[in-house]
Chains A and B, each alone.
Chain A
């Protein structure tokens, strides 16, 4: 662990998004006196990503509303933000990074927060930039919104991928009255992240909102036909559409770290202090992979919680404070008027309870257990379940499973928690 620090030290952060920006401000909070540089290769003042597929997508909002911090904030906190500047190499021997403008910048500590990019599946003909879009950054969304404005009547959109991003985009497009077909390769939506009860909830929700959800459809190639696109599936089914939006997952931006000889598995491997195998280099956010002690799993999380909390841990450690990363992961997704909130990690559960509140047909919670231990909860339109589950997991309390499984019993701490 570090500790000594002075005004002439410098912490360099690569990537100015949720993780990188949180780390910069946390460094000041924990007392870092030296310089802080953030290098971000895109041009926008760092912004929030969650609204990109939600409110920002379907509302006419100014991009300013998305900003994580105001420009003044960086100045007040003496954080030097270099936009439109990519880091092209890390030289560990001389402890410096190289920018795409050819400058070499020395660091005492380096925080690697390069995140991820959209995974582009290998589908023949997928490169028609004027009509096929990914969903990762502000430019992607601005381009989609521009494109949609060129249609005088409701266009047809086809979404490839029924994960959270694909579903949120479907919901936003419906709010804009765009016709939507959503193709999912698996036999149910959200298969990678949740159980069949949640999948079927969202399947029904989208069908009710007139999205054509079609599962077990593997797209093999795409052809341009005049202004439209023809989409061909493995089983011979074809679709004609105006635009295609792809949401099939992410690819972590680890290449610079790899070239510098840092250990990479699914993401950049870090210890509980978010340190890589080089103690002066930290990796945080979507690009990192940590050993989660609570869940005994190696996790590469893609969430705001993970980006912000890892940023705090890295910053605190650099400033000499004792703080380990031992989170209870949480996540949310908003679609139509449904709010999904997830706390914990359900991987390895042995049994689950599905609780449907009486008289609130859209209020559902799924409780995942490993034997008696509560691992995680998916709460659909049920913030109380989300908050209570967070508390139970944090305090390692026991759930009264019988009461939990019985919606006749009031949902309250008194009834849900076993008193000791």
Chain B
């Protein structure tokens, strides 16, 4: 079980727990606003854009190549941008705090 905190653009905090699947799936299963996951997790839509809290960056690490390409020219990109569909839930990311990029 990993506990993940999603902070949506309205400032609300949502603490969720999950053990399998991706962060995008965890978010859509819990109706987290701003994470739509339109392409179902295949790196085609960027509707699952999140900013990892800076001091948690090492827990998740950098994006993969396609993901980095999807993010590079995105309006809301920061140095801590990831696509939530590309982050798998695991014990290693327990306690992660992420900010949802879109409204």
Contact = CB atoms under 8 A, between A and B. Distances in A.
A70 B44 CA distance: 23
A233 interface: no
B36 interface: yes
A339 B44 contact: yes
B75 interface: yes
B31 A387 contact: no
A73 B31 contact: yes
* Tier of interface size on chain A: 20 to 34
A334 to B, nearest CB: 6
Given A304-B38, A305-B38, A339-B66, A387 B43 contact: no
B42 to A, nearest CB: 6
Contacts of A29: 31, 33
A51 B40 contact: yes
Contact of B42 (A70, A332, A382, A384): A332
Interface string B17-48: 00000000000110101001011101111100
Interface string B68-100: 011111110000000000000000000000000
Contact of A383 (B28, B36, B43): B43
Nearest to A334: B42
Contacts of A384: 69, 72-73
A387 B42 contact: no
B44 A308 contact: no
Contacts of A334: 42, 44
Main secondary structure of the interface of A (DSSP, over half): helix
A360 B39 CA distance: 25
Contacts of B28: 69
Contact of A387 (B29, B40, B73): B73
Contacts of A25: 31
Contact of B44 (A73, A341, A388): A341
A312 to B, nearest CB: 9
Contacts, number: 53
A282 B67 CA distance: 36
Nearest to B28: A69
Interface string A382-415: 1110111001000000000000000000000100
A48 interface: yes
Given A332-B44, A334-B42, A339-B66, A387 B72 contact: yes
B56 to A, nearest CB: 25
A351 to B, nearest CB: 23
Contacts of B72: 384, 387
Contact of A304 (B39, B71, B74, B75): B39
A382 B28 CA distance: 27
Interface in A306-354: 308, 330, 332, 334, 339, 341
Given A25-B31, A334-B42, A388 B73 contact: yes
A304 B37 CA distance: 11
Contacts of A304: 38-39
A383 B70 contact: yes
Contacts of B75: 391
A391 B31 contact: no
B67 to A, nearest CB: 8
A332 B70 contact: no
Interface of A: 25, 28-29, 48, 50-51, 54-55, 69-70, 73, 77, 304-305, 308, 330, 332, 334, 339, 341, 382-384, 386-388, 391, 413
Given A330-B45, A332-B44, 5 more contacts: A51-B40, A55-B42, A77-B31, A382-B69, A383-B69
Top-4 shortest CB links A-B: A383-B69, A332-B44, A383-B70, A387-B73
23 contacts: A25-B31, A28-B31, A50-B40, A51-B40, A55-B42, A69-B29, A70-B29, A73-B29, A77-B31, A305-B38, A332-B39, A332-B45, A334-B44, A339-B66, A341-B44, A382-B69, A383-B43, A383-B70, A384-B72, A384-B73, A386-B70, A387-B74, A391-B75
